[in-house]
Chain A
Amino acid sequence: MNSQSGFNVLWLQSGGCGGCSLSLLNAESPNLVHTLEGAGINLLWHPMLSEESGSEMVRILQAVIAGEIKLDALCIEGAILRGPKDSGRFHILAGTGRPMLDWVRDLAAVAGYTLGIGTGASFGGITAGGDNPTDACGLQFAETERGGVLGEAYRSAYDMPVINVAGCPTHPNWITETLMQLTLGDFSESDLDEWQRPRGYADHLVHHGCPRNEYYEFKASAEEHSQLGCMMEHMGCLGTQAHADCNTRLWNGEGSCLRGGYACINCTAPGFQEPGHRFQETPKIAGIPIGLPTDMPKAWFVALASLSKAATPKRLRQNAVSDHIVVPPHSKKK
């Protein structure tokens, strides 16, 4: 595709793990190459896919900044490392002697749209964990605080704030669908939620479509890994609070965290990396989990939970603490 006619995407990685790019390669029906081609999306450069290396790549960046090549979407993957002491030296872009921090600011100034790919580029994410040794943050947020490396007032050339395709990693379709909506001109600021995530996936909860829903209804809970019960009461699952469509969209064919037998850790949210307690364990006060579904009155939740616990069928009570179905649903006709 001609880089002057298509929708040009430039992709750079900084203080993350590259996992969102690897996840992107999992795109299917059609595969990634055909998806992009079909949508008229032209990769100016992608660190895992492009031919250009070294000075050829640096020339592309310079031409984009000089306005010689149109840049429709700048995709930044991974947190931006501001340290040590605001110098950005924790990531100097190879071959350039220049911090990635500076390249990102220059490119964002000319980009039609700027996308934070993954929770790192969106908010800081894992790299901002612990004491945040590298002073990592996102493009327009440092966790829940607005600002980041581009500043609260930043608007891209097509007049949008940063689009945060958050997730650790992101689902391939969260990326491709966002880019494709942008190519159609079908995406505006009202399609972003409070953390500037695309509402297409962020208006859903991970809980939706969870195959353990029946266990949840009756508060029949798993107590150990590999057991079949609901993981909210003991195992730290945040599916009822996490914004994403993981259980209706599915990953790698038919997966999701909950289908894989482990807790949702709310990886699309700012600050998910520091939950304030051990992951995989539900913090409780007087035996009642804190962090209940956000829009449900607590008293009602407790009342309903104790009612449903009392009504739990033996089938669910036993299966919840087993690693395969020990009591099947029974047929009335027998």
Chain B
Amino acid sequence: MSRTIVGPFNRVEGDLEVQIETAGGVVSNAWVVSPMYRGFEQILHGKDPRDALIYTPRICGICSVSQSIAAADALAHAGGIMRPKNGELALNLIHACENLADHFTHFYLFFMPDFAREIYCGEPWFDAVAERFKAVKGRAAADVMQARAEFMHLMGIMAGKWPHTLGIQPGGSTRGIEATEKVRLLSILSGFRRFLEQRLFGAPLEQMLEIDNQRQLDDWLTAGDPAESDFRRLLQLSRDLQLDQLGKTDNRFMSYGVYSLEGERTFRSGVWYQGKRSKLNSDCITEDISHSWMEGQAEPQHPYHGVTLPDADADSGYTWCKAPRLDGQVVEVGALARQLIDGQPLINDLVTTGGSNVRNRMIARLLEIPRVLIEMEQWVRQLKPKDHFCVGSELKRESEGFGLTEAARGSLGHWVRIKNGRILNYQIIAPTTWNFSPRDQNGIGGPLEQALIGAPVREGEKEPVAVQHIVRSFDPCMVCTVH
């Protein structure tokens, strides 16, 4: 059986190759290749730990703030630093702004343009979808960029700029917010809410969150015109193209939880498998390099003890990506996992009945937008302009710490060990490292490698459109994956 090589994939962040074998009109086997290595963990070795705040956001231009949060949390953990409430609120707002902008960009600019490809030109909905979502030329692109750029003004006020702010520190935010700025932030949020209600959903955000199960979602789909609501268009395409049958995984999910406030996380952390939620124990995370172009590690290691040494000639290697595992198991991460583990009713119903698939990943991502925006509106109101936003960030010369957070596309962790005031070891496991992991020492493939099996290949297709939908449904970030 010959392997077909699919790539490069555009409209993902970074470079990606997928190799597939097909039999009987479906994909029968898949290998996911991350084709670029830069060596951040090697670059960080020996640096002052606080310099991680400059290097690590530059791992990724799209998860930049998530990287900063993970680094600042790891340093705060190592140093025993507690942020003031204003600092927590400010960091949550900056982080939420990035995560929502990412969801928004992913839906409009990365995912939907595939339905405007020529292969669908015979479908009854094609003209309307192409007119709105065609890459670059569709009507949505310009509107969406405008709305996104205006929403990002929050970054201009609170973080100096995006991407790559240094405003996120172990002790909080470097930027105090004045009372006049607080109301400007509210205006920015209300402008974005307007776009979401008028174009993305075609309904008030609160109403969207009242949809509790599959039946109500089906009713909502038929109650209006997909031309008036981009979310309804997604539901209609999902129904017509059976996107709920595409891209299934083993249905084991993990979330680190995100948006810390006074000892709690707004979206809680945990693991979900076969209908049961359990607590996450990050001590049980390991990385395996058995199928990576890596050396220096005979057995899977917890990231405190992990080694990152590239070896382009490693036997049985086929990617620069390592294989992270939780308790030795493959887990899927992302908005679907996050909302499921947090107990969002609709997502709980969709996963309980249909598991993980392309449609459910997209619905979870889009419904997270109103959930987070409503939180953001509350967080701004809680800011107290005369109180502190930051405390000192003194570190200990011998210590270790980790920072676990959620980027838009899933769980991101940094682990740092500090010796003589310098970084002895810094290890990063990014969301797409989990989702696009290669096989482990037991030969078990990661979530995407599982999700591609069974994908239909249409007559004459060299690079199946189903593969495109499945890959993009994870909202991959390849520059984070390998770093």
Contacts and interface: CB of A to CB of B under 8 A. Distances in A.
B468 interface: yes
Nearest to A32: B145
A92 B312 CA distance: 11
A51 interface: yes
Contacts of A283: none
A260 B157 CA distance: 7
B175 A53 contact: no
A136 B38 contact: yes
Nearest to B8: A94
B51 A19 contact: no
A256 B35 contact: no
B156 A250 contact: yes
Contacts of B51: 278-279
Given A23-B61, A51-B135, A130-B45, A251 B156 contact: yes
Interface in A14-66: 14-23, 25-28, 30-34, 43, 45-55, 57-58
A129 B48 CA distance: 13
B10 A130 contact: no
A258 interface: yes
A126 B163 CA distance: 14
Interface string B149-185: 1101111111111111111010111111010000000
A43 B146 CA distance: 19
Contacts of A257: 160-161, 165-166
B463 to A, nearest CB: 4
Contacts of B145: 25, 27, 31-33
Contacts of A28: 146, 149-150
A293 B468 CA distance: 52
A123 B404 CA distance: 33
Contact of B61 (A46, A169, A262, A324): A169
Contact of A94 (B9, B141, B152, B173): B9
A95 interface: yes
B117 interface: yes
Contacts of B165: 257, 260, 262
Given A15-B38, A51-B116, A255 B48 contact: no
B174 A225 contact: yes
Q: Which of B134, B155, B156, B463 has the most CB of A within 10 A?
A: B156
A254 interface: yes
Interface string A75-91: 00000010010010111
Contacts of A48: 10-11, 13, 109-110
Interface residues of A, number: 81
A24 B6 CA distance: 27
B43 A133 contact: yes
Contacts of B43: 126-127, 129-133
Contacts of A53: 7-11, 463, 468
A257 B162 CA distance: 10
B10 A50 contact: yes
B89 interface: no
A8 interface: no
Contacts of A89: 312
B80 interface: no
Contacts of A259: 156, 160, 175
Given A17-B479, A130-B45, A260-B160, A92 B55 contact: no
Contacts of A263: 166
The 5 A-B pairs with the shortest beta carbon distances in the complex, nearest first, are: A260-B160, A19-B61, A94-B7, A255-B156, A252-B156
10 contacts: A15-B36, A30-B142, A90-B36, A91-B37, A224-B392, A251-B160, A252-B162, A253-B150, A253-B152, A323-B176
Given A95-B17, A323-B390, 14 more contacts: A19-B163, A22-B61, A28-B146, A31-B142, A50-B11, A50-B136, A94-B15, A129-B43, A250-B156, A253-B150, A262-B165, A262-B174, A323-B176, A324-B385
